[in-house]
Amino acid sequence: QVQLVESGGGLVQAGGSLRLSCAASGRTFSAYAVGWFRQAPGKDREFVAAISWSGGNTDYADSVKDRFTISRDNAKNTVYLQMNSLKPEDPAVYYCAGGLPSTFFTRTYGYWGQGTNVTVSS
């Protein structure tokens, strides 16, 4: 299994940028698809972005497309979410999640981190 720990959250101004990191432990990390999800207060957890096990394919929610970029560095066992042009609707707890390669398509991730909080100020 893979253990995931998110970091990089914090307070940023609207229009600013932030990069989240998902550090993973486990020798099978490179074989996992990884996704980013977020959950705002009073709302359901929603899909943000995903990257395939090879890093060759990415997917984004329409709400973040062209603003967020997901990437991975398997040598460092880390997945990143670069967030640019942050909007007032982006604040949430952001989670990274891992799963088998097919998870890239199904979004049914089996392993979840504890989340990192992102706050956007006006």
Determine the pLDDT at residue 31: 75
- Identify the pLDDT of residue 58: 96
Cβ-contact 7, 113 below 8 angstroms? no
**pLDDT score for 82:** 98
Tokens matching residue 105: 């398509």
Give whole-number Cα distances, 120 to 3, 23, 73, 84, 109, in Å. 28, 23, 27, 12, 27
Per-residue pLDDT of the chain (122 residues; tens, 9 = 90+): 678 999 999 999 999 999 999 998 876 667 789 999 999 999 999 999 999 977 889 999 999 999 999 999 988 889 999 999 999 999 999 999 999 889 999 999 999 999 999 999 98
Model pLDDT, residue 11: 97
Residue 74, pLDDT score: 83
3-state secondary structure string, 69-112? EEEEEHHHCEEEEEECCCCCCCCEEEEEEEECCCHHHHCCCCEE
48 in helix, strand or coil?
strand
**What does the pLDDT read at residue 56?**
86
